[in-house]
């Protein structure tokens, strides 16, 4: 392509963003064609936007695909999930119950469920990521699917919480205002790249790499942590809920 090593280095470190035309040339040289080439060129076209908004598409949403890539590359993940169990901690049946309740067709539901299952590898596989989750009381008390589905999900949380690389803490309801009241978010740290905050909404999401925003959400994590139960109290709380679901 006639590019200098310096230019490529700037792309790799994120100091500069390649143009869509440069990306298209790179993909051609690498033998990438068809829909995959079109998808990557489209990503490059919007990569210069300060806050990257990604809108859902039929099948696997683009913003979900972006989150999956962040999970695979991250060295540490911190998530605040006030209303639902985070994807990395979901059982297959829990994930399926959410997709079916949202009205997705069966084929799209199963595609989402398969993706959720594959995502767990970053937590349970070799060289697992360090995952710290602050989860709202409503998320573990809500009735998702049949009682047995929620009982299995709660038991799954207990098992994952016992792992060295996973920290789960429940944030009780009615503790007053804290930054998490504004909504859920995920903070990704990477070994060789700047951190990024991800917001996931119903049909869209945003990845925000701005330093000031990232620091603001680190402070938010500290504030939410101050009102969260300890890991031991969390295990006891979830254990009692699991017993209640099993009896039901």
Q: 206 burial class (0-12, 13-18, 19+ CB within 10 angstroms)?
A: middle
In terms of CATH, what superfamily is 51-89+120-247? Answer: Endonuclease Chain A (3.30.870.10)
Report the C-alpha gap between 150 and 123 in whole angstroms.
21
Q: How many residues does the chain have?
A: 248
pTM (two decimals): 0.76
- Say which residues have a Cβ less than 8 Å from residue 84's Cβ, sequence separation at least 6: 98, 139, 142, 144
Distances, alpha carbon 67 to alpha carbons 6, 64, 82, 204, in Å: 29, 5, 18, 12
Spatial separation of the C-alpha atoms in residues 64 and 184, rounded to whole Å: 15
Q: What is the pLDDT of residue 63?
A: 62
pLDDT in tens, the chain (248 residues): 888 998 888 888 777 888 889 999 999 999 999 988 988 888 787 666 555 545 444 444 566 777 888 898 999 999 999 999 999 999 999 999 998 898 888 877 887 788 778 888 999 999 999 999 999 999 999 999 987 999 999 999 999 999 999 999 999 999 999 999 999 999 999 998 899 999 987 777 788 988 999 999 999 999 999 999 999 999 999 999 999 998 88
Alpha helices in 74-146 (DSSP H): 92-101, 106-119, 121-124, 137-141
The span from the CA of 203 to the CA of 223, in Å, is 28
| Domain chopping of the chain, boundaries | 1-48, 51-89+120-247
> pLDDT value at position 158?
97
Q: How far apart are CA 76 and CA 21, in angstroms?
A: 34
**Region of residue 86 (phi > 0: left; psi between -120 and 50: alpha; otherwise: beta):** beta
């Amino acid at each position: 392509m006639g590019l200098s090593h310096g230019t490529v280095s700037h792309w790799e470190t994120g100091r500069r963003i390649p143009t869509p035309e440069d990306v298209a040339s790179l993909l051609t040289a690498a033998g990438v064609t068809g829909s995959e080439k079109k998808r990557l060129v489209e990503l490059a076209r919007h990569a210069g936007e300060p806050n990257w908004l990604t809108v859902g598409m039929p099948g696997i949403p683009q913003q979900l695909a972006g989150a999956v890539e962040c999970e695979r590359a991250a060295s540490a993940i911190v998530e605040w999930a006030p209303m639902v169990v985070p994807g990395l901690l979901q059982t297959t049946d829990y994930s399926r119950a959410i997709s079916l309740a949202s009205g997705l067709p069966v084929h799209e539901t199963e595609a989402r469920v398969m993706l959720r299952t594959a995502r767990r590898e970053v937590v349970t596989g070799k060289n697992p990521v360090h995952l710290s989750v602050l989860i709202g009381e409503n998320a573990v008390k809500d009735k998702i699917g049949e009682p047995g589905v929620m009982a299995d999900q709660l038991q799954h949380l207990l098992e994952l919480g016992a792992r060295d690389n996973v920290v789960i803490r429940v944030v009780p309801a009615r503790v007053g205002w804290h930054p998490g009241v504004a909504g859920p978010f995920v903070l990704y740290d990477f070994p060789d790249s700047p951190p990024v905050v991800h917001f996931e909404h119903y049909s869209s999401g945003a990845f925000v790499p701005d330093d000031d925003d990232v620091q603001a959400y680190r402070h938010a994590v500290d504030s939410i942590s101050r009102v969260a139960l300890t890991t031991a109290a969390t295990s006891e709380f979830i254990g009692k809920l699991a017993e209640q679901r099993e009896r039901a």
